[in-house]
Amino acid sequence: MSFFGLGNRNQRTFRPKKNAASGNKGTQLKGHIDTTLGSGNLTEAVRLPPGVDRNEWLAVNIVDFFNQVNILYGTLMEFCTPTTCPTMSAGPKFEYRWADGVQIKKPIEVSAPKYVEHLMDWIEAQLDDESIFPQKLGAPFPPNFQDVVKTIFKRLFRVYAHIYHSHFQKIVSLKEEAHLNTCFKHFTLFTWEFCLIDERELAPLNDLIESIVLAY
Least confident stretch, 16-30, 127-141, 158-172: 16-30
Q: What is the mean pLDDT of the chain?
A: 83
Q: Which pLDDT score is estimated for 102?
A: 83
Residues 6 or more apart whose CB falls under 8 angstroms from that of 58 comprise 145, 149, 194
Q: What's residue 81's pLDDT?
A: 96
Return phi, psi of residue 42, to 5°.
Answer: -70, -35
SS (H, E, C) 64-132: HHHHHHHHHHHCCCCCCCCCCCCCEECCCCCEECECCCCCCCCCECCCHHHHHHHHHHHHHHHHHCCCC
Q: Calculate mean pLDDT across residues 103-129.
A: 94
Alpha-carbon torsion (80, 83, 88, 93), positive or negative: negative
Tell me, what's the pLDDT at 82?
97
Position 212 scores a pLDDT of 65
Residue 191 to residues 36, 47, 85, 194, 202, Cα–Cα distance (Å): 17, 11, 27, 5, 11
Q: Please report the pLDDT score of residue 216 as a whole number.
A: 58
Residue 10 has pLDDT above 50, yes or no: no
pLDDT attached to residue 101:
83
Partnered with residue 98 across adjacent β-strands are 108
Q: What is the pLDDT of residues 20-32, one digit of tens each?
A: 554 544 554 555 4
**Cβ–Cβ under 8 Å, residues 33 and 158:** no
pLDDT greater than 50 at residue 3: no
Q: Work out the angle between the directed axes of helices 24-38 and 54-74 (0-180°, nearest 10).
A: 60
pLDDT at position 4 is 30
Find the mean pLDDT for residues 60-67.
93
The span from the CA of 148 to the CA of 153, in Å, is: 9
Predicted local confidence at residue 78, as pLDDT:
92
Find the mean pLDDT for residues 161-170: 95
Distance CA 101, CA 103 (A): 6
Question: What pLDDT does 138 receive?
Answer: 73
In this predicted structure, the answer to whether residue 141 has a pLDDT above a threshold of 90 is yes
What the chain holds in terms of domains, given with CATH numbers, is 24-80+122-212 (1.20.140.30)
C-beta separation of 86 from 111 below 8 A? yes
Binning pLDDT at 50, 70 and 90, where does residue 145 land?
Answer: very high
